[in-house]
Amino acid sequence: MIEIYGMGATRSMRAVWAAKEAGLEFNYVEVDLKNGAHLSEDFKKLNPYGRVPALKDGDYILWESAAILTYLGELAPERGLVPKEPKARGLYNKWLHFANTELDAPLFTIEKHIWRYPQEERDPKMIKKAIDELQAPLKIVTDHLSQNDFLMGEQFSMADILMAHCLNWARFREAFSDNSVLNDYTKKLSKRDSYPRELYKK
């Protein structure tokens, strides 16, 4: 049985959502980040970097949310969540990497300067700079989604999970607000049966 290690609405919700979209059975193991469970020697056998999500499938261990999404999608090829055809796969990878490098990375910079760094190392100017830097990639995503239902056109894919999580995070950190394209897209995705809304109730 697949095990997914995570906590609440953190990046690990991406993996839970993906497993549900793929129709896979899995056990969800909550990792108490607040009490440092992710830094234990046991957890570091699953992810030496001490982060969630992590996945265990028998003897197979995988970490990094984008890699987990693609792995889970490939376990259920009939659902078409990860394109196989090389050109489509290239576009799928493009959106995964774009979300991770151009959205997730500056969003994490914001978190560092809001709460993660020691007080004396936090700099509000870095938050503003990261929000400014997010505007160009957000425009690219907005332009694309104003012409397409999903990142891959008419077909939902695992890349939409990563993108939707980053967009919800960006809105939460006030990188955008009244963008009807992005708001409609994230709202539509949050209504999918597989959306792990249960993780937001905690």
Ligand X SMILES: N[C@@H](CCC(=O)N[C@@H](CS)C(=O)NCC(=O)O)C(=O)O
Interface with ligand X by CB under 6 A: which residues? Answer: 10-11, 33, 38, 50-53, 64-65
With beta carbons less than 8 A apart as the criterion, state whether 122 and 113 touch: yes
- Provide the 3-class DSSP secondary structure of residue 188: helix
Name which of 11 and 156 has its Cβ closer to ligand X: 11
> What does the alpha-carbon distance between residue 125 and residue 41 come to, in Å, rounded to a whole number?
37
Question: Could you give the CA distance from residue 183 to residue 176 in angstroms, rounded to a whole number?
Answer: 10
Instruction: Compute the distance between CA of residue 67 and CA of residue 175 in angstroms, rounded to an integer.
Output: 26
Q: Which is nearer to ligand X, 108 or 176 (CB)?
A: 108
- Quick one: 82 or 179, whose CB is closer to ligand X? 82
Task: Tell the burial category of 64 from Cβ atoms under 10 Å away from its Cβ (0-12, 13-18, 19+).
Answer: middle
Please, what is the minimum distance in Å from the beta carbon of residue 147 to ligand X? 27
CB of 196 to ligand X, least distance (A): 14
Looking at the Cβ atoms of 63 and 195, the one nearer to ligand X is 63
In the complex, least distance from residue 86 CB atom to ligand X, rounded to whole angstroms: 25
- Which DSSP symbol is given to 151? T
Closest approach of ligand X to the CB of residue 109, in Å: 12
